[in-house]
Structure formats: C-alpha cells, structure tokens
C-alpha cells in the first residue's frame, strides 16, 4: 500500500503545473467545492503563472511553427487584434497578437505561416528557441543571438531598430533566423546617433564610415528583444515591424 501511495505521489509531482492544478480542481469538485472545474482550473493556471512567471506564455508560443496552417494556429491562439497587408508583396499579410509581455507577428500567405516573430516587451521575457523550442539561457545582447550575419537593416526615424538575418543550414530546414533590437523600450541601449550614422553610411552619405565596425559596435551593446524565423527574407520582416506611432496607438487599446 505504501508503495502505491509513493508511486501516486511521484506521478503527481512529475506532472506539469497545469496538470497539477487540474488534478487538484477535479479533486475539489469531487467533494462538491467547485462547479465548473476545468474552466476554473484553466483560469487559475493562467492567472498564477502569467502574473509570476512567463511559463504560460512560453508554452503558448511554442505551438507556433513555420509552415503551420493559419486556421490551426488561430484555433490555438485565438483571433489577432491587428491585421496588416505587406506594402511590397501581394498576398502576404501580417497578423499581430498584442500581449502586454510581447508582440507575436504571424507572416502568412494563402493560410500558410511563412514565418513569425516575437518582440519582447518585458526585460526578462526571453521566449524559447523558435525552432528547437529549447530554453535560451545566458543571452542578452544582439550579437549573442547569431553566428554570422548574412543581411541586416537599421532605422532611427520611424522606429529605432537594428535587425540581423542569419541563414541556417539543412538541419534547420534552410530557414532564416532573425535577431535584433526594437526600440519601443528604454532599457535596450539603442543609441539614435549610432543608428543614424549606420543608416547614413548605407545610403552613401558617410563614405568614411566603417559599416562592419558600426554593426559590431551596436550589436555588442544593444539588448536583443526581437526573435524571428521563417522562409522569408529580412525585407519582409522589416515590413512587418510596427512603427513607434503604430505601437503607441494600438497598445492604448489593450
């Protein structure tokens, strides 16, 4: 009997926190304390973990994948708060999920998710790796998130940002990985003057400026809060970024 109790106890503690809460809820219902157990358990799970950890959000975001059917994703995450069309490519649209902790952007065409990005809006919010879904540890500055830059873009006017693209190998389905810093927040160490210098150099307005050193200087101190992956290139990713005005406008409504 003791062995059975120990086994039951071990099985309970090995379960996820969500499962534990539901088990406790079902037990409570069995003695008449809760009427609608499952919905109350779900609400308790979301409330507790969303307020004190990012576990619930990470689990939700893990369900998004490149190549997924958009309808399936929406059944999981619900309807987006905002939808925009690409300014440059026909039939490509951007679905935005505006959360107080993050912005999830689904880039899709004909109901297929071509790529997606997550912008962190909380200093300690670092989603799991978008491909492996493994936890990302000990990474902060932009340069920690890439091995080799194949392309990059910078802006200082509509929104302060630097974004990098890295081309992945066959083990990662030849997808493109995107990292960077989007200056919606003050703690990111994005300097407008440095971004402008790099921007001007790219537009041939500063012939004596060393672009590679400029990228290195910025990415070695800017905090990474942008995570993206997809079959698209960096120009599509840049097109999906909300400007400072759009960010301020839409976040007044959540």
* Per-residue tens of pLDDT for the chain, all 254 residues: 555 444 454 554 555 666 655 665 565 555 455 455 555 555 555 555 556 789 999 999 999 999 999 999 999 999 999 999 999 999 999 999 999 999 999 999 999 999 999 999 999 999 999 999 999 887 899 999 999 999 999 999 999 999 999 999 999 989 999 999 999 999 999 999 999 999 999 887 667 889 999 999 999 999 999 999 999 999 999 999 999 999 999 987 66
Q: How far is CA 111 from the centre of its chain?
A: 20
How far lies 99's CA from each of 59, 218, 234, in Å?
A: 14, 27, 24
What's the burial of 8, exposed, middle or buried (CB within 10 Å: 0-12/13-18/19+)? exposed
């Amino acid at each position: 009997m003791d062995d059975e109790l120990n086994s039951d106890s071990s099985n309970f503690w090995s379960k996820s926190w969500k499962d534990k809460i539901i088990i406790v809820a079902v037990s409570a219902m069995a003695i008449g304390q809760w009427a609608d157990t499952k919905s109350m358990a779900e609400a308790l799970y979301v409330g507790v973990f969303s307020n004190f950890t990012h576990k619930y959000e990470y689990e939700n975001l893990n369900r998004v994948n490149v190549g997924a059917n958009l309808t399936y994703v929406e059944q999981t995450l619900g309807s987006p708060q905002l939808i925009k069309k690409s300014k440059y490519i026909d039939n490509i649209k951007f679905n935005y999920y505006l959360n107080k902790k993050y912005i999830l952007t689904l880039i899709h065409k004909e109901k297929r998710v071509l790529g997606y990005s997550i912008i962190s809006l909380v200093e300690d919010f670092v989603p799991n790796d978008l491909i492996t879904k493994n936890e990302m540890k000990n990474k902060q500055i932009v340069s920690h998130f890439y091995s080799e830059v194949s392309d990059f873009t910078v802006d200082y006017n509509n929104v302060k940002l630097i974004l990098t693209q890295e081309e992945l190998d066959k083990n990662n389905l030849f997808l493109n990985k995107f990292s960077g810093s989007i200056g919606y927040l003050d703690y990111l160490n994005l300097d407008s003057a440095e971004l402008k210098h790099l921007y001007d150099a790219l537009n041939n307005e500063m012939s004596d400026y060393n672009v590679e050193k400029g990228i290195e200087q910025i990415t070695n101190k800017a905090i990474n809060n942008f995570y993206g992956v997809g079959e698209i290139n960096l120009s599509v990713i840049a097109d999906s970024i909300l400007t400072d005005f759009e960010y301020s406008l839409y976040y007044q409504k959540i």
